[in-house]
Amino acid sequence: MNLTISGHHLELTPAIRDYVNTKLERIRRHFDNVIDAAVILTVDNLTEKEKRQRAEITLHMRGKDVHVQAIDQDMYAAIDALVDKLDRQVIKYKTMIKDHQHEAIKRLPEAMTTDLPSQ
């Protein structure tokens, strides 16, 4: 999996890079057919009191692109929320793929096809 991490209005430290890598291991453990991932970490300065930390990821898989975004007061909390959302989306996509891949009726053994009602 190709991983691109970029920061907008934020200096990417090795600690943040390592944190994102360790959190994305959870996604790799569930689904290993990910082609590439682009992570964007942003700090939006709306007012002095309220600084918003935003984490976004676009995951490119075979047959589908998934985009997830999370906003929080703390960057690490935003990354945690992002990975939780992404994990749910990937598991949902994986079950959808499994449910749709089944044997065609013409490929079933003959014993099973004789039990089917004729029309």
Domain ranges of the chain: 2-112
The per-residue pLDDT for 88 is 92
pLDDT digits (tens, 9 = 90+) for 36-45: 999 999 998 7
Is it the case that residue 111 has pLDDT exceeding 60? Answer: no
Range of lowest pLDDT (5-14, 46-55, 74-83, 90-99): 46-55
CB-hemisphere CA count at 13 Å for 69? 5
Give the pLDDT mean for 92-101.
Answer: 77
Closest CA to 57 of 80, 29, 73: 80
Give the pLDDT of residue 40: 95
Residue 83 pLDDT level (bands cut at 50, 70, 90): very high
CB atoms under 10 Å from CB of 89, counted, come to: 17
Calculate helix-pair angle for 14-30, 75-100, nearest 10 degrees. Answer: 20
Q: What angle do CA 23, 29, 31 make, to 5 degrees?
A: 110
Residue 67 token pair: 């985009």
- Residues 2-112: name the CATH superfamily: Ribosome hibernation promotion factor-like (3.30.160.100)
14 or 107, which is more confident: 14
Residue 56 CA to residue 118 CA, distance in Å, equals: 53
> Among 53, 62, 6, which Cα is nearest to 31's?
62
Whole-number pLDDT of residue 86: 93
- Tell me the percentage of the chain whose pLDDT exceeds 90: 47
